Amino acid sequence: MQRFLGTTLLALLVMVTLGSTSARAYDSPQKYGVEIRGGLGIYDMGDVTNGIRTLQKNLSGMRPTVNSSTSSLLGTNGDGINDNGPTGGLSFLYSPSRHTMWEVGYNALLDVNNTVDTQPDTASGQILMHANEFFLKGHVVAMLTDRLHLNFGAGAAYYVSELQIQDNKQRNYYYNVDGPGWGLLGSVGLEFLATDRVGIALSGGGRFATTSHFTYETAPGTRTGFNVLYGSRPMEVNLSGVYAQLGLRLYFDKVTKPVDFTR
SS3 per residue for 160-224? EEEEEEEECCCCEEEEEEEEEEEEEEEEEEEEEECCCCEEEEEEEEEEEEEECCCEEEEECCEEE
Q: Is the pLDDT of residue 68 over 70?
A: no
Confidence band for 81, pLDDT divided at 50, 70 and 90: confident
Confidence band for 6, pLDDT divided at 50, 70 and 90: low
For all residues of the chain together, what is the average pLDDT? Answer: 85
The domain ranges of the chain are 2-252
* pLDDT tens-digit map of 141-171: 999 999 999 999 999 999 999 999 998 888 8
How much is the average pLDDT of 198-224?
95
Fold classified for 2-252: Porin (2.40.160)
CA distance 173 to 241: 28
Confidence band for 71, pLDDT divided at 50, 70 and 90: very low
CA distance 240 to 49: 14
How much is the average pLDDT of 217-226?
90
Candidates 190, 208, 213; CA nearest to 200 is 190
Q: What is the pLDDT of residue 197?
A: 95
Confidence band for 70, pLDDT divided at 50, 70 and 90: very low
